[in-house]
Amino acid sequence: MPEIAKRMRAPDLIEKKRRGEKIVVLTAYDFTMARILDAAGVDVLLVGDSLGNVILGFDTTLPVTLDAMVHHSAAVSRGAERALVVADMPFLTFQVNVEETVRNAGRLMQEGGAAAVKLEGCRAVIDAVRRLVEIGIPVMGHLGLLPQSVHQLGGFRQQATREEDAARLVEDALALEAAGAFSIVLESIPAAVAREVTAALRIPTIGIGAGPHCDGQVLVCYDMLGLSRGGAPPFVRKYAELGEAVASAAKEFAADVREGRFPASAPAKEKK
Ligand code: KIV
Q: Separation of 180 CA from ligand 1 center, angstroms?
A: 20
Residue 258 has a pLDDT of 98
Per annotation, catalytic residue among 21, 100, 177, 187: 187
Residue range 224-240: mean pLDDT, rounded: 91
Separation between Cα atoms, residue 181 and residue 178, nearest integer Å: 7
Nearest CA to 105 out of 153, 71, 66, 75 is that of 66
- Reported as a pLDDT band with limits 50, 70 and 90, residue 4 is low
- DSSP H helical segments within the chain, as ranges? 10-19, 31-39, 51-54, 66-79, 98-110, 126-134, 150-153, 163-179, 191-200, 221-224, 242-258
Residue of the CA atom closest to atom 1 of ligand 1: 48
Which domains does the chain show, CATH number per domain?
Answer: 10-258 (3.20.20.60)
Residue 81 has a pLDDT of 98
Q: Separation of 103 CA from ligand 1 center, angstroms?
A: 22
* Beta carbons within 10 angstroms of residue 89's beta carbon: 26
- Reported as a pLDDT band with limits 50, 70 and 90, residue 225 is very high
* Beta carbons within 10 angstroms of residue 4's beta carbon: 8
Separation between Cα atoms, residue 24 and residue 8, nearest integer Å: 12
Residue of the CA atom closest to atom 3 of ligand 1: 48
Q: Separation of 118 CA from ligand 1 center, angstroms?
A: 9
Cα 20 to Cα 46, 183, 214, 259, distances in angstroms: 22, 15, 11, 57
- Decide if 198 contacts 210 (C-beta within 8 A): no
Instruction: Give the pocket of ligand 1 (CB within 6 Å).
Output: 27, 46, 48-50, 88, 185, 187, 208, 218, 220
Return the ligand 1 atom nearest residue 118 CA: 8
| Candidate of 183, 220, 227 to mutate for ligand 1, largest count of ligand atoms within 8 Å of Cβ | 220
Note the pLDDT tens digit of each residue in 178-192: 999 999 999 999 999
Q: Separation of 46 CA from ligand 1 center, angstroms?
A: 7
Residue of the CA atom closest to atom 4 of ligand 1: 48
* Beta carbons within 10 angstroms of residue 24's beta carbon: 18
- Reported as a pLDDT band with limits 50, 70 and 90, residue 232 is confident
Separation between Cα atoms, residue 32 and residue 230, nearest integer Å: 24
Higher pLDDT, 48 or 265: 48
The whole-angstrom distance between residue 133's C-alpha and the CA centroid of its chain comes to 20
* Lowest-confidence pick of 50-59, 69-78, 208-217, 228-237: 228-237
Dihedral, CA of residue 83, residue 103, residue 74 and residue 17, to nearest 10: -10
* Lowest-confidence pick of 134-143, 227-236, 251-260: 227-236
3-class DSSP assignment, residue 139 = strand
pLDDT surpassing 60 at residue 115: yes
Specify whether 187 is catalytic: yes
- Decide if 42 contacts 26 (C-beta within 8 A): yes
- Reported as a pLDDT band with limits 50, 70 and 90, residue 271 is low
Separation between Cα atoms, residue 55 and residue 71, nearest integer Å: 13
- Reported as a pLDDT band with limits 50, 70 and 90, residue 267 is confident
Return the ligand 1 atom nearest residue 61 CA: 1
Q: Separation of 88 CA from ligand 1 center, angstroms?
A: 8
- Decide if 52 contacts 62 (C-beta within 8 A): yes
* Beta carbons within 10 angstroms of residue 110's beta carbon: 10
| Candidate of 37, 46, 76, 108 to mutate for ligand 1, largest count of ligand atoms within 8 Å of Cβ | 46
**What distance separates the 2 farthest-apart alpha carbons in the chain?**
89
Please list, in sequence order, all residues whose beta carbon lies within 8 angstroms of the beta carbon of residue 98, skipping any fewer than 6 positions away. Answer: 127, 128, 131
